[in-house]
Structure 1
Amino acid sequence: MSQPTFRRSLLAVAITTIIAMPAYAQDTPTADEEVKALERIEVTARRKVESLQDVPVSVTSFGAGDLEEIGVEDITELQQRIPNATIQVSRGTNSTLTAYIRGVGQQDPLWGFEPGVGVYIDDVYIARPQGAVLEVFDLERIEVLRGPQGTLYGKNTIGGALKYVSKELTGYNELSIQGTVGSYNQRDLKLSGQTALADNFYVGAAIASLNRDGFGTFLNTGDDNYDKDLLTYRVSAKWLLNDDMDVKFSYDKTKDKSNAKGGYRLLTSSVTGVAPLDDVYDSNTAMPVDNLVETEGWSVTYNWDINDQWGFKSITAGREGYTNTNIDFNSTGEPIFMVPAIYEDDQFTQEFQVSYSNNSNFDFVGGLYYYDGEACGVFGTVLPMYLAALGGVTVDNGGCVQTDSYAIYGQGNYKLSDALTLTLGGRFTKDEKEADVYRATYLGIHYINAIDPDSVGTPFAVNSDFTTKADWSRFSPHVALNYKVNDDVMVYGSYSNGFKSGGVDMRADQSLNPTINEPYDPEIVDTVEFGVKSELLDGRMRLNSAIFYSDYQDMQVTVQRVVPAGISSQVLNAGESTVKGFEIESVFAATDTLNFNVVLGYIDAEFDSVMYEEPATGDITDVTDAWSFQNTPKLTYSVGFNKTFDTNAGQFVWTTNYAYRGSAQMFEVPSLLDEDSYGLLNTSIVWYSKDGHWNIGLHGKNLTDEEYRVGGYNFDATFGDDAIVGYYGDPRTVSLAVGYKF
């Protein structure tokens, strides 16, 4: 009963800390104890290297050392340290990403749907969320940009962008090894290294094997639930052609064989009579738990410093992914509502980029971009207990989406004076899509037949069989003014436009909705932002803040409903909506060895006008007041500290933080799956040997063992039973990591 008061108290501490930091600094340290300024943070948010404090964009950067000190294992843990962000594992998956920033994202990871937050690995766009829960290894830094990034990063970055920057090859001989053991029999091993094969040719490689038993169990089969069985590696090479040119090659592959994830039923089954289980990580299943997700990619980056002012870069890349998984929507152990699924995708991208700087008052970056991608999939909705007298029913759904995208972009910064800089940019994008959709109903039980419908004979009914094409074009402008009040304070204002491409609902059922073969439109966001970036108290305090207002048009919302003839799916362009809020990020060096940090985000997102057409009846309803934004808590904050102890035995770094998320709705309508507010308490202590070779880290996460949902399926009264199941974040874990650098 005391927890809400505890949480409100921590929020008060967060706000008070920001206000009180300067006052506290006047008292500590003493005159004889000069405190060093905070370290400079460099980012490439605007496709050039510059200080975080000089970038008129809301961006958070995490260096490799920062992530090591807090024991981050994959990018979803960054959610706890970024305001107004949701970065989670998608519902019944292990490595598919659900990402929202400032209310914009993608709930449904079906093939062919577009994300609202762009993910980049070394400036290569990752089009699909499958396999996008990136592991943290062989890393230089991660940058998270908030707000539309359409000018420099293109379509599908209307919420923001997440940039994963791998470790740079330097030619020095390096080799490191780290082993980790922990809760639930965690067994991780990471190896990385690099060397020079010649004065101008460097190579590097890294590999990680990540394993863990399940947090729970499939009670009726004994298999692990929420386990981890993943192998990932990267190899790279860099060739210095001369003093002005270099070529870098990179290849990475990830293979995830973790079991298919089972959901936790929130209601007693009307078929089995079994009440919700005692442990949210336990489940039952009527399907095999086999699951495989493979992703791999390559890139070739050519850099040419033409002269002191001009530069040229070419980025050529390809990626492909394969997923074969089983989803038991009902999670009772009875074969009621089972969905085996296969996804495949491949992409090729080419970017040519030019940059210019006269080293005085003007710089520019621009280029051409091409994307060629195909996303295919097939799943079967297997209903053995539905029409059992006929041997059950199988609904097969499959198809492909081919996308070709072209863009030209440019952005320049012009110093109007020593203090005032104007930024102008724009990007013109054209998307062309062609989709094939096939959906058929068969009497009897079949698995994954839509890819070859003739193999199972004549269907009982063909629900959909169509090909459709569409194209869209959009110009996305950006304008900003930033003013240097002095060397330590910059204020800025900006306007940005972004869009997420339109598409086709790959679950389309024309027998229920005759016009569903018509593509849905892109969604568009116009955002105005005002911010302050400052370094105060002789560089000992970094205080960055921003307020924003977004006009959100034609938001894409996936709606699935149970109807007498099956499950109706459609993607709505849900009218108009407004998103506004603010963000604060602050770090304060109280002493040379003690830092405090505060992150605070508030967001108010609401629909202004939404009209919903019920496919089964054609009735149109005004649902403006009934719908809410998904995965968007009003309040997020994190408070913590970092303390260093220098001893004769080496250096100890103790880090602790408490991360709070307000209540959030999981879908557009209220449901039992909606998550109440919760907070996670984490602490780490890392020892570094004096010779720089050894490090040992002890990491405790979710120390209060908070129970919180991160995804779910919401189908009530489905074919004789409900399918209201939730998926949960990690319980309390403790791990010990030991590393050695040669």
Structure 2
Amino acid sequence: MKTIMNKKPQLALCALAVGAALSVGAQVQAQETQEAKEGKLERIQVTARKTTENLQEVPIAVTSIGAAELREKGISVITEIQQFSPNTTLQTSRGTNSTLTAFIRGVGQQDPLWGYEPGVGIYIDDVYMARPQGAVLDLIDVERIEVLRGPQGTLYGKNTIGGAIKYVTKEMTGGTEFNAEATVGSYAQRDIKLTGQLPVIDDKLYVGFGFADLNRDGFGEYLQSALPNQDRENYNKDLWAARFDVEFRASDDLFVKFNYDKTKDTSNAKGGYRLLPSLLTNAPVPDSVYDSYTSLPTSNLVELEGYSFMVRYDYNDAFQFKYIASHREGYSPTNIDFDNTALDIFDVPAEYSDENSTHELQMNYVGESVNVVSGLYIYDGESCGNFDAILGFLGRAAFGTPGLTREVTGCNNSESTAVYAQATFQMTDELSMTAGGRYTDEEKTAIVNNGLVFANVYPSSGWIPGYTRPDGQLVPTVLGSDLSGDGVLDAPKSQDWSRFTPRLGIEYQANENTMLFASFSQGFKSGTFNPRATINEEGVNPEIVDSYEVGVKADLTDNLRTNVTLFSLDHKDRQYVGFGEGNSATDLQQVLRNVAATSAKGVEAEVTFVATDDLTFNLAYGYIDEKINKNNSIPPLIGLANTPKSTMNMSANYVIDSDMGTFVLNAGYYHRSDYLLFETSNLLEQDAYGLVNVSVNWESQDGDWYASLHGKNLTDEEYLVGGYDFVGIADDGSYLPGLGGDLTLIGYYGDPRTVHLTVGYRF
């Protein structure tokens, strides 16, 4: 059983991505690489603690990848960042093209359904992106991407128990700039990206813009479809994104920034690969892992839109005040064929919608012996959705009805207020202490309507949550109050949670180039309600992570940097949806409870060696060892999902200066050991694998023209990044039909070998 899943099958994203660093100017690139060209280590600035600091002076485990490195390695989507950050998993989730599955140090969230909270926070210029839908997103003009590992509950709040990922965009330089870029590549890739900025009032008011149109044919196709005349490409890409920025420097002390962005992704829904032959159809297991079958429309849509407003005021050399406001909306109708056959065995058309607003007021202080970061944060968000689990074949066979649909809809609303402060006290020239805390108060309200309809129905059929369907059938309210019994919601389910999350650390500057640190930090993932509730159950309590770290950041010489962190964490009150007492793969009653606790310990090391003025080597290594301490889940936990015991990246960068311009050669090897796709099942387990990536970059002497050639996954490895396992196991180890009456064991795979060429011009 396990052997079938581990090997490459023998039986025969698109994400929202707007290429990072589209207009990395010659001046910016020179600033980032000058130290390396002189045979010295680069000084890296980060904002991991909400203030600008040298990476080597920040006492947390953080990976920073700057714009020049993103461009040189051809990194275009966030999922590729996992290759450069130890103990990190960033993958496109299952049957959708834009939903992010994120785990850091074994902590994250597998299920992206509304109501569930992520375990890794995504931030765009310190603005929280609340939902995983649409989170596979790289913004235009990215200055750097930071990966903060470990709980970030003090400064970043709830839902960062695994860590946080920060997009940091560039502030404008003040001059007139324009960048045009075109890319062609494998699978008919054809991208156009335009960015620029223009001063409206010299040294005062600037506007900037960005636009990207990204297209690629599918890695595979839908071999069979119940619907004629539809696009049968699978794993294709078809999206556009735009961004508009305004910056106003009213004075040397006052800076104002407004930005607006919108993305529309019409890539096809992603079909999975059947790892087992169907019992109910005669279609064979496909020859390619990127081929599939479907009985649903292949159409898919993700629309994201948002704006943010920031005011920064330097009161004097010591005090800085900052106000950040944001509003974001998302809408995503999608068609997920769980069984991936041309029959309606197990189809799940769904709609997701969300809307949230945030306000944050910061006060930062820098003194001779103490630095303080503090603030007030307010979040108001609504996440809604509906899905129809269509089991039409089962309905006709077992009940003689036109079909069978489990119809679920609901909303989960959250209002959250938090205050936080973190201070670093300089006790001696070498010794400092950091202490901080955050208090969060949150109220959630939720409604779930869940019922069976003996017909095949779809979200687009006009059904309104809480009311009788147009066909006369009532889908009852099961979570919330329906006092009249008429299906109309009288009052939603409501519950409050509050939590104080502390951080305490000590730092010792052994010498000018070596810092030792130790810390304790705590984070929590919000309490919530079961979005699939079949009974009027209570909400579950927050998940808690306590983390301990000991580390060293050392520039041992002018050309050798070694950053090492040892960590240990306890993950308590883990939230799981489990089956009812029947413990059956066909059981529809699922309840959400705090039923598990795990712990982990490990090491993370990042090493940079500048061998010569032209040659640099990098190593990133992570190891994690987990333990299950409490295991009341049904089915029980058997390990951590999406968490290999070890990850490693080795790369080399070589610079050649010539009369034709500057060439940068980059080669890397990324390795992941074996890992489970789900914590409660070993039916989908990926063997260890490695990816080989090679890039050649060129820039003209005056810096206006540039080009790059990137080859990724050159050995064409096939590796699982998602799946569905709705099958049972008999006593003799054979497979039994699961929900829908078929053997539904499905895999989704990472990108195959691709090569692409980019040519750009900037002035």
Matched, 1:482 2:491: no
In the alignment, residue 687 of structure 2 is paired with which amino acid? D
Matched residue, 2:147: 144
Matched residue, 2:630: 609
Contact 2:105 2:150 in 1 (8 A): yes
In the alignment, residue 205 of structure 2 is paired with which amino acid? F
Matched residue, 1:27: none
**Which of 340, 345, 353 is the matching residue for 2:354?**
345
Q: Secondary structure of the equivalent of 2:39?
A: coil
Matched residue, 2:613: 592
Matched residue, 2:267: 258
In the alignment, residue 328 of structure 1 is paired with which amino acid? D
**Which of 461, 464, 468 is the matching residue for 1:454?**
468
- 1:185-584 superposed matches below 5 A: 185-199=188-202, 200-221=204-225, 223-358=232-367, 360-388=368-396, 389-448=400-459, 451-452=464-465, 453-459=467-473, 462=476, 464-466=478-480, 467-510=492-535, 517-537=537-557, 539-559=558-578, 563=584, 567-584=588-605
Gaps of 5+ in 1: 5-32, 511-515, 615-622
TM-score, normalization: structure 2?
0.89
In the alignment, residue 574 of structure 2 is paired with which amino acid? M
Question: Matched residues in 2 for 1:131 and 1:691: separation?
Answer: 38
In the alignment, residue 382 of structure 2 is paired with which amino acid? E
Distance 1:56 1:559, change over 3 A: same
Contact 1:263 1:331 in 2 (8 A): yes
1:246 Cα deviation after fit: 1.6
1:353 Cα deviation after fit: 0.4
Contact 1:321 1:345 in 2 (8 A): yes
Matched, 1:640 2:638: no
Question: Matched residues in 2 for 1:451 and 1:59: separation?
Answer: 46
In the alignment, residue 719 of structure 1 is paired with which amino acid? G
Contact 2:596 2:633 in 1 (8 A): no
Question: Matched residues in 2 for 1:35 and 1:445: separation?
Answer: 67
Distance 1:462 1:196, change over 3 A: same
Matched residue, 2:156: 153
Matched, 1:39 2:53: no
Gaps of 5+ in 2: 1-5, 7-35, 226-230, 481-491, 728-736
Matched residue, 1:28: none
Q: Which range moves more in the overlay, 553-562 or 680-689? A: 553-562
Give the CA RMSD over aligned residues.
Answer: 1.7
Distance 1:673 1:687, change over 3 A: same
Q: Which range moves more in the overlay, 680-689 or 35-44? A: 35-44
Contact 2:546 2:570 in 1 (8 A): yes
Q: Secondary structure of the equivalent of 1:721?
A: coil
Contact 1:291 1:324 in 2 (8 A): yes
Q: Secondary structure of the equivalent of 2:282?
A: coil
Distance 1:649 1:328, change over 3 A: same
Question: Matched residues in 1 for 2:610 and 2:544: separation?
Answer: 41
Q: Secondary structure of the equivalent of 1:280?
A: coil
Contact 1:443 1:460 in 2 (8 A): no
Question: Matched residues in 1 for 2:565 and 2:319: separation?
Answer: 33
1:461 Cα deviation after fit: 6.9
1:464 Cα deviation after fit: 2.5
In the alignment, residue 534 of structure 1 is paired with which amino acid? A
Per-residue CA deviations over 1:526-568 (Å, capped at 9, x if unaligned) read 101000001122x201110000010111112344688587533
Question: Matched residues in 2 for 1:214 and 1:128: separation?
Answer: 26
**Which of 53, 62, 67 is the matching residue for 2:70?**
67
Question: Matched residues in 1 for 2:464 and 2:79: separation?
Answer: 33
Per-residue CA deviations over 1:276-327 (Å, capped at 9, x if unaligned) read 2110000010010110001111001011111111110000100010000001
Per-residue CA deviations over 1:650-683 (Å, capped at 9, x if unaligned) read 1110001100001111112233321111110000
Matched residue, 2:489: none
In the alignment, residue 219 of structure 2 is paired with which amino acid? F
Identity %: 49
Q: Secondary structure of the equivalent of 1:258?
A: coil
Per-residue CA deviations over 1:333-361 (Å, capped at 9, x if unaligned) read 11111111001000000000001112x21
Distance 1:271 1:323, change over 3 A: same
Question: Matched residues in 2 for 1:325 and 1:387: separation?
Answer: 23
**Alignment size in residue pairs:** 694
1:37 Cα deviation after fit: 1.2
**Which of 653, 668, 673 is the matching residue for 2:684?**
673
1:207 Cα deviation after fit: 0.8
In the alignment, residue 599 of structure 1 is paired with which amino acid? A
Q: Secondary structure of the equivalent of 2:496?
A: strand
In the alignment, residue 535 of structure 1 is paired with which amino acid? D
Question: Matched residues in 1 for 2:429 and 2:586: separation?
Answer: 68
Distance 1:564 1:592, change over 3 A: closer
